[in-house]
Amino acid sequence: MRIFTKADGFSLHAISGTRAVMLAMNARPDVLDGFLGFGVGIRFSAGGAITWLNGFKCFRSVEPDPQRAQRFKTVEHPVQDFKWGHYWAEPDRDYHYVVRPLFRPADGDLSNLRAGTDLELTIRTESEVNGRHSVFFNRGAIVSQAYAERFANDETLDEEELAAQLDDPDAERTKWLSRGLLEGALAFIAQATDSRFSLHCGFYELTYPPILQALADAAARGAMVEVTFEADHFERSANARAETKYGKMNRAAIAPFQGRPRLHFRERIHFINITHNKFMVLKENGRPIQVWTGSTNITASGFCGQSNTGHIVRDEAVAKAYADYFALLARDAEREEMKAFTGMHSPNPPEVLPDATVTPLFSPRRGSSMLDWYGRRIEAAEQTVILTSAFGVTTRLARYFDNDRDYLRYVLMEQRSRGEDAQDMVERDRDTRVVFGQGLGTTGSLGHWRDIPGFKLEHWMWREHHFRSSGHVFFIHTKYMGIDVLSDDPVVFTGSANFSPGSLTSNDENMLLIRGDTAVSDIYLTEFFRLLNHFYFRQVANRQAEDGQSDPDIRFLHEDDGWVAGHFRAENYRAKRRELFGVAP
């Protein structure tokens, strides 16, 4: 949902997802003399008292020696930016926001700021249970003061005890880290209440007990449950099966559930490269009615560690497309049959997607021309592009970022692009912001931690890697792209597939191409910037540490209006960002 208000030369634009709300402020330059920032507050009931939100920065003249992790009310130590994120919202709930412009008083005493006219509005967060779409994002970044404070920075927690907690859907730690993602998956499965229903699931990693138990419970209620999973690789040269790492892990995990009535596990042998899907189809009386898809592997780290999303579509045509695709997986179809199916039933879409549609896209495909289709959407953007990329941006896609068109581009990635000049092409435009998923205090490889001078983060949790001790992706595992996400006609692409040639031609994969749904776009937008802002802080801290630098003034606010100029300078990135997210005052 999007809503805005204006008063006395200032404006406030609120954009709500399900569990995150973005507040974007704007102002006329002529009202900013002595402007020191915004106080941000919430009324928890209409007309109720204002609860002022806290920040970490303060005025040195008021708080010359802030304590470690000390927070300050933004009405006294304001936000010196034109954007603010509320990241602990709850779904399907009204929030009453108050944003107060604050100015330097005539006597210069910053303990008594001069208040402007409050900007107030009420916005409702999106539902996770109603409508055509439901979208879930987990916490996705646990090295944070919130985690350390909530769970007492328990670095010495026994690994077996931790694993037991993460395998318990009702454990406080699991609920906090999952942030609705696990609950959403379990609720999807729980819809299969009796023999009228069936579930058809295509998975890559399948080791998480809560999901396995939920599938078994559905079968016990009378539902028919089919599950394909990553098994062996088929070596054509030897005409034989070769055991894979995930095949071994999956078989061990499902062993206790084998042989139960109506619960059928079907091995997917690698006639292709990787069987990378993560989806479930719900049928009622044999009719496909809903799909769960997204980036989440069925593992503890998938739900509670690395950033992931789950996306439900309640649409019979979309569900039928997935059900037809699943039928090939269930009988372990080989590469050429899979490609023939996708060529006939999931061809490349037209250059312009039909309005207000959801188009499923499946792999493997006969070629990788969809990369150029995605690239042309990047190149033709009018406002902004957001992209998550676990393995960097392939050269073929990166070249579409390398243009001189005037729009903002944001890329959140796990690893640098490996193709020739690919990273340079992505980053070349001055209006591109690239942020890497990374641990705080890392020296370039996971598990090598060190102190960050000047940041006093001794109470932060340092063992993010205990949720996933091996593998390729530890932080940014989502696979989605948004084009012009703040427009009235946004486009979102989301699913299991990385935007790469291999995901198109060599893997079992699925994607949703969604046009014209602003609610879906707002959810992905607010969650994208929740993670981008979090990892941007780590990136700055790590770079300063690598350079042997620290900024003793990092926690102090500007005590005059000099900070404002960069947000209004022509062609400046911050000015463009203010204009993109805000509304004209």
Instruction: Give the model confidence (pLDDT) of 158-189 as tens digits.
Output: 778 888 989 999 999 999 999 999 999 999 99
Min mean pLDDT across 25-39, 352-366, 509-523, 541-555 is at 541-555
- The pLDDT of residue 420 is 82
Contact call for residues 369 and 376 (beta carbons, < 8 A): no
Contact call for residues 116 and 98 (beta carbons, < 8 A): no
Which string of b and e fits 352-369 if b means at least 16 CB within 10 Å?
ebeeeebbbbbbbbeebe
What DSSP character marks residue 444? S
pLDDT band at 236 (very low <50, low <70, confident <90, very high): confident
List of residues 6+ apart from 26 with CB closer than 8 A = 10, 11, 13, 82, 578, 579, 582, 583, 584, 585
Mean pLDDT of all residues in 499-523: 97
Cα end-to-end span (Å), the chain: 20
Contact call for residues 272 and 364 (beta carbons, < 8 A): yes
The CATH homologous superfamily to which domain 2-126+553-581 belongs is: Immunoglobulins (2.60.40.10)
Q: Enumerate long-range contacts of 318-321, CB under 8 Å, 24 or more apart.
A: 318/291, 318/358, 318/360, 318/512, 319/281, 319/282, 319/283, 319/288, 319/289, 319/290, 319/291, 320/288, 321/345, 321/346, 321/360, 321/362
The answer on pLDDT for 536 being more than 60 is yes
The answer on pLDDT for 36 being more than 70 is yes
Dihedral sign from CA coordinates of 577, 413, 281, 320: positive
- Indicate the domain borders of the chain: 2-126+553-581, 133-333
pLDDT band at 418 (very low <50, low <70, confident <90, very high): confident
pLDDT band at 125 (very low <50, low <70, confident <90, very high): very high
Min mean pLDDT across 82-96, 371-385, 535-549, 556-570 is at 535-549
- The pLDDT of residue 331 is 96
Which string of b and e fits 84-105 if b means at least 16 CB within 10 Å?
bbbbebebeeebbbbbbbbbbe
pLDDT band at 403 (very low <50, low <70, confident <90, very high): very high
The answer on pLDDT for 463 being more than 60 is no
Please tell me whether residue 123 adopts helix, strand or coil conformation.
strand
- The pLDDT of residue 162 is 81
Beta strands in 463-574 (DSSP E): 480-483, 491-495, 509-515
Q: How far is 271 from 419, CA to CA, in rounded Å? A: 27
pLDDT band at 460 (very low <50, low <70, confident <90, very high): very low
- The pLDDT of residue 552 is 61
pLDDT band at 548 (very low <50, low <70, confident <90, very high): low
Position with higher pLDDT, 77 vs 140: 77
Query: What is the helix, strand, coil percentage profile of the chain, to 5?
Result: 30, 30, 45
- The pLDDT of residue 571 is 86
Structure pTM? 0.95
pLDDT band at 142 (very low <50, low <70, confident <90, very high): low
The answer on pLDDT for 155 being more than 80 is no
Strand partners for 102: 37, 115
Architecture of domain 133-333: 2-Layer Sandwich (3.30)
- The pLDDT of residue 153 is 58
The answer on pLDDT for 545 being more than 90 is no
Average pLDDT over the chain reads 91
- The pLDDT of residue 414 is 87
- The pLDDT of residue 456 is 44
- The pLDDT of residue 354 is 94
Position with higher pLDDT, 543 vs 353: 353
The answer on pLDDT for 224 being more than 50 is yes
Q: Specify burial of residue 413 (Cβ count, 10 A radius: 0-12, 13-18, 19+).
A: buried
Mean pLDDT of all residues in 325-354: 97
The answer on pLDDT for 67 being more than 90 is no
The answer on pLDDT for 579 being more than 80 is yes
The answer on pLDDT for 258 being more than 50 is yes
Instruction: Give the model confidence (pLDDT) of 364-394 as tens digits.
Output: 999 999 999 999 999 999 999 999 998 899 9
Q: How far is 39 from 103, CA to CA, in rounded Å? A: 11
Mean pLDDT of all residues in 119-134: 97
Mean pLDDT of all residues in 72-79: 98
| 136 to 152, 179, 228, 328, 419: CA distances (angstroms) | 27, 8, 23, 28, 32
Contact call for residues 286 and 197 (beta carbons, < 8 A): no
Instruction: Give the model confidence (pLDDT) of 440-459 as tens digits.
Output: 665 544 444 455 554 444 43
- Backbone φ and ψ of 556, nearest 5°: -105, 140
